[in-house]
Chain A
Amino acid sequence: MKRTQETAHETAAGAHPSLASLLAGKRLIVLVGEGGVGKTSVAAAIAHGLAYAGRSVEVLTVDPAPRLGDALGIANIDAAPRAVTLAGATGSLLAMRLDSKSTFDRMVERYAPDRESAQALLRHPIYEAVSGSLGGSEHYMAFQRLSELIESVHQDVLVVDTPPAVNASELLGAPARLTGLFDTGALSILAEPARLLARATGTLARVSLGLVLTIVQRVAGDALKTGVAEFVRLFGDILVGLEDRTRVINALLRSPQTSFVMVVRPRAHDVARAVAFRKTLAGIGLHIDAIVVNRLTPPAADRATARTKRLAGSPEHARTAVAVMEREMDALRAMESEALSHLREAMTGGDRPVVIPLASLDVDVATLDDIASLAADLFGTR
């Protein structure tokens, strides 16, 4: 049974270099793309398709649109994964929603030496300021959740829908930025300035480090200095745990069992950003295997035949309006196809991703049938 399903996927998917074969054997599939491009729907569709290909799948999502959440049975935040019933599937599908409020705090609680330290840190005024200045704590939370899941998951494959970040490079760079903050030595200088200044080799480094200290003192005064020292002490323990975890995740993200799938909309602006984002990712050693171009306007139906009859007897201005609307739809299709060809042209090199066009359903993805329909288009099994 399992064999037949997989074969069916492979033959039917001949049109696009098969997404099914691309994702076969992967254990982690990370969806990237900007907010609002339909990442969550595509994640659900990929998970759905893989479950019907006989794999046991868990899909992890962040803030699904209410109706999509309903379709997956995860409309309410729920700590436990929920089984999604799929008729006739050889595999299985679990859906889980990231509780984006408490994960970062949980991380603090987990790595802090004791409860008092954890509480002191969570209440520290600089905690909020610093995590805020690093671009939003949801990125760390997604990573933390990911590493928790890697330890506990019993499924074949985990499909992760990244948070609707301004830019997913923020997400992928988050652990490095957090540890990088401490690399600068700024906070440790404040904790123990004398020791670090003594260790600084070379006049330039010494002047430079001294400058940081001077600036902070003169800008903010001693109150901040004391606060920072306390913060550094409290955060130190968390950092050790986080650094270990970051190494594990970084290795996992670069593993051959991991696949990145980007979702973009067929718009010039989105395509330009996607092309640049692929470069950014390549720069940190991450490769995108597939790009799903989501919500393409379906081709125009035949207009000539039935239409003339139906338009007959209608007032002139209504006919004019219909003609204008049709012209605008054509202009939209032209925009989209230009963006799509631009994307295809920009994808060069031996490791270039597969580009998969996906037609718009023109409804909010609200039921399992909608997800199944997307999956059929995506895997070419319709």
Chain B
Amino acid sequence: MLTGSARIVFVSGKGGTGKSFVAEALAAYAARERCLRVALVRVRPPFGEPGDDGQHEETTAAGPAHSPGFRTIVLDERETLEKFLGRVLRVGFVARRLLDSRTFRAVAAAAPGLRDLVTLTAITALASAGRRRSVDLVVVDAPASGHSVPLLTSPVRVLDLAPLGPVAREARAALQTVTDRQSFVPLIVTIPEELAVTEAVTLYEELVAEGIPAPRIVVNCLWPGHLDDAHVQWLVTRRPSLDALLHHKRRQRQLEQLATLERKTGKCMTLPFTFGNQLLPAAAIAALLDSVLAPRS
């Protein structure tokens, strides 16, 4: 995996599932324990748009200080678009300065998909092969699932509207990356609750229908099981503790949701609910990382 392009792990999911937490834990672990050069990319929506209400999901997964190979890149969509326009259109410095919020929105609205493509291109450029490649693994803390599909399908949408020209060239390159099983691994983070599971299934099916490699699914916050089957029976019939019984019932409900999800998407990975403890078990993160780094057939 150290030859050619770096692998992109694209982490998406609905807000509150711990998506950012998982992305950061994964990236930090890869840099610290596997000595990989890792870029954690966060996408920041521009200009008071949906999602930009000044409240970005906090992450606390960092643990010990980050290793030298780890860096965080915040993709400001406006800045990225400015750079893109400079590169593709050779628009000068003065013109780029004119790219104020109104103009930005106008460009984005008049050429649907362009903004998403620009963001996607910035991500794929980080991972692209060549002597100047400076990372081994790109972990993208993607926007909420509703915005992930437009982002990943932007090359197709742009090619539909503008099949020729400098942008089409960029769109084709991006399309090649996001449909390549070796370079692009989508990861959907969800929790074992009805609505989140439904949303994860929808996202999974939409991505697969668009020709994106089948996403891995991580079910976060799964309540741990502490009793074997025989003692579950004992717990339910003897009722030695109402709290233990409630604990058991909540886990059972989660397992039903997990089963529903796995029926539709295949085997999922799980991360335990930590009851307020900030750190995930290292073994769980290691297993997750191994799974996304494994060669894909």
Query: Chain A: residues with CB nearer than 8 A to chain B?
Result: 34-36, 65, 125-126, 129-130, 132-133, 135-136, 164, 166-167, 169-170, 173, 180-181, 184-187, 189-190, 204, 207-208, 211-212, 214-216, 218-221, 223-224, 227-228, 267, 269-270, 272-273, 276-277, 280, 297, 300-301, 303, 307, 310-311, 314-315, 317-318, 321-322, 324-326, 328-332, 334-335, 362, 364
In the complex, B2 has a CB within 8 A of chain A: no
Contact B238 A310 (CB under 8 A): yes
Question: Which chain B residues have a beta carbon within 8 Å of chain A's beta carbons?
Answer: 14-16, 49-51, 53-55, 57-58, 85, 88-89, 91, 95, 98-100, 102-103, 105-115, 144, 146-147, 150, 157, 160-162, 164-167, 193-196, 199, 223-224, 226-227, 231, 234-235, 238-244, 246-250, 275-277
Do residues A277 and B53 form an inter-chain contact, with CB atoms below 8 A? yes
A211-B103 contact given A220-B167, A332-B275, A362-B250, CB 8 Å threshold = yes
16 new A-B contacts at CB < 8 Å, known A212-B110, A215-B89, A219-B167: A132-B150, A133-B109, A133-B150, A169-B50, A173-B50, A214-B91, A218-B166, A219-B88, A220-B114, A224-B161, A310-B238, A311-B240, A321-B231, A321-B244, A325-B226, A328-B247
Interchain CB contact under 8 A, A186 and B107: yes
A-B interface pairs (CB < 8 A), number: 202
For A126, what are the chain B residues with a Cβ–Cβ distance below 8 Å?
A: 112
B53: contacting residue among A136, A184, A280, CB under 8 A: A280
Q: Which residues of A contact B249 (CB under 8 A)?
A: 362
Q: Which of A136, A180, A224 contacts B146 (CB 8 A)?
A: A136
> Which residues from B are CB-within-8-Å of A330?
243
A-B contacts, 16 listed (Cβ < 8 Å): A36-B14, A130-B109, A133-B108, A166-B15, A173-B50, A187-B110, A190-B110, A207-B98, A215-B111, A216-B110, A219-B89, A221-B164, A270-B16, A280-B53, A314-B234, A322-B241
Contact of A219 among B111, B240, B248 (CB under 8 A): B111
Known: A170-B50, A272-B58. Is A224-B227 also a contact (CB below 8 A)? no
Residue picked from A133, A135, A170, A280, most chain B C-beta under 10 Å:
A133
Determine if B14 and A35 form an interchain contact, defined as CB atoms under 8 angstroms apart. yes
User: Would you call B162 and A267 a contact (CB within 8 A)?
Assistant: no
Q: Kindly name the residue among A189, A269, A300, A310 whose own CB sees the greatest number of chain B CB atoms within 10 A.
A: A269
How far is A181 from B289 in the complex, measured between Cα atoms in Å? 42
Q: Identify A218's interface contact among B89, B157, B277, CB under 8 A.
A: B89
Measured between alpha carbons, how far is A173 from B53 in the docked complex, in Å?
A: 12
The CA-CA distance from A180 to B101 in the complex, in Å, is 12
Supposing A329-B247, A332-B275 touch, asked if A184 and B109 sit within 8 A by C-beta, the answer is: yes
User: B243 — which chain A residues lie within 8 A by C-beta?
Assistant: 300-301, 303, 325-326, 329-330
Docked CA distance A332–B277 (Å):
10
CA distance A204 to B95 in the complex (A): 10
Are B231 and A166 in contact, CB atoms less than 8 angstroms apart? no
Q: Quick check: B55 and A276 within 8 Å, CB to CB?
A: yes
**A181 and B109 within 8 A (CB):** yes
CA distance A189 to B107 in the complex (A): 11
Is the Cβ of A184 less than 8 Å from the Cβ of B106?
yes
A276–B53 CA distance with the chains assembled, in angstroms? 7
Q: How far apart sit A301 and B109, CA to CA, in the bound complex (Å)?
A: 57
